[in-house]
Amino acid sequence: MNAVEKRIHTLHQYKPALTLDPSAADHFWDKKLDLFKNKPLNARVEQRDSLMNGVDTYHVTYEGFDETPIHGWFLVPSFMQKKSYPCLVMFPGYTADKGLPERYAAWLLQGFAVFAVDVRGQGGETGNRLDYDAGTSTGWMTQNILDKDRCYYMAVTLDAYKAVEWAAGRPEVRASKIAVVGGSQGGGLSLITGALHEKVSLIVADIPNMCHMDFGVLNSVGSLKEAADFIKRNPDRLEPVFETLAHFDMMNLAHRIRVPVRMTVGLKDMVCWPEAIFAAYNRIEGDKHIDVHPFSGHEVSERQQQEHRRYLAEWAREAQ
């Protein structure tokens, strides 16, 4: 067994203790979703001109956790002239955005409808009306980090949850074929949305965040470093911060996943560490697959994307 094989073997055995009991996690989220399910989307849809012939392009605005207008692109490959299409609900990485519609051309050519959304406050056109009570470290993720019911992770999770709800209600979308897709932050949001929303039928999570988050706070050079900086300034708040994050940690929520999961990991990733990703992956009990890239860092290569497209094409053809 060479060094790479040994590392991968060790990671497949990595199963740290949970930081939140599954029954407590279920009680928290079942209660939260029950309170939230009737919140109206108050959606607005405006058709836009497109540089892509045969693609219906819509600018969508809806309300997620609060009254913040969340913006997205809904793209339909109408050139295929089908009654409905499998749909990819797509979330961006930290500080990124939904971009321009042309970013999704390859998926559209494969026959997928796409609903790509911003994450509040970050790099897109979406603001953030989250009412937070105290100062934060650099970035967004420490807003209300001491209050699990009102923290930034709660807001972005329920924003993502409502994105699936909006997509599932569209006549162009085949409701039995809705996948959540993203990398890094987008991968974490895909995992947690797939764990919470009954309309999700597939999860594709590249190098996902929101896994083994106490480990990430200690080691990551990415967004979770903001939590480390917060604790550095407020050392007496370590346990309350970890208690909040535990409710959004996919290591603790993996038992709720009931659909196929496809994940990737880079062994040189210092943002979403392999240990963090495997801590969540190893807790998933159902249909799952992880592609390990020994010499990749925090990145998603063209080859990885190609493999996803092959897999999703087969998934879309199943039980049509």
Assign 77 to helix, strand or coil: coil
Assign 204 to helix, strand or coil: strand
Q: Is 184 a catalytic residue?
A: yes
At 146, the amino acid letter reads L
Decide: 225 and 205 in contact? Cβ < 8 Å. no
Q: Is 176 a catalytic residue?
A: no
At 173, the amino acid letter reads V
Q: Is 133 a catalytic residue?
A: no
State the Cα angle at 202 between 201 and 208, rounded to 5°.
Answer: 140
- Neighbouring CB atoms inside 10 A of 201's CB total 21
CA–CA separation, 153 and 145 (whole Å): 8
Decide: 133 and 102 in contact? Cβ < 8 Å. no
Output DSSP code: residue 145: T
Instruction: Out of 197, 247, 298, 308, pick the active-site residue.
Output: 298
Pairing relationship of beta strands 288-293 and 261-266 according to DSSP bridges: parallel
Output DSSP code: residue 314: H
- Neighbouring CB atoms inside 10 A of 61's CB total 16
Instruction: Out of 184, 201, 220, 223, pick the active-site residue.
Output: 184
Instruction: Out of 71, 247, 269, 296, pick the active-site residue.
Output: 269
Q: Categorise residue 79: left if φ over 0, alpha if ψ from -120 to 50, beta otherwise.
A: alpha
The answer to the question of whether 104 is labelled as a binding residue is no
Tokens matching residue 235: 């050392």
CA–CA separation, 212 and 214 (whole Å): 6
Catalytic (active-site) positions? 184, 269, 298
Annotated binding site for substrate: 94
Annotated binding site: 94
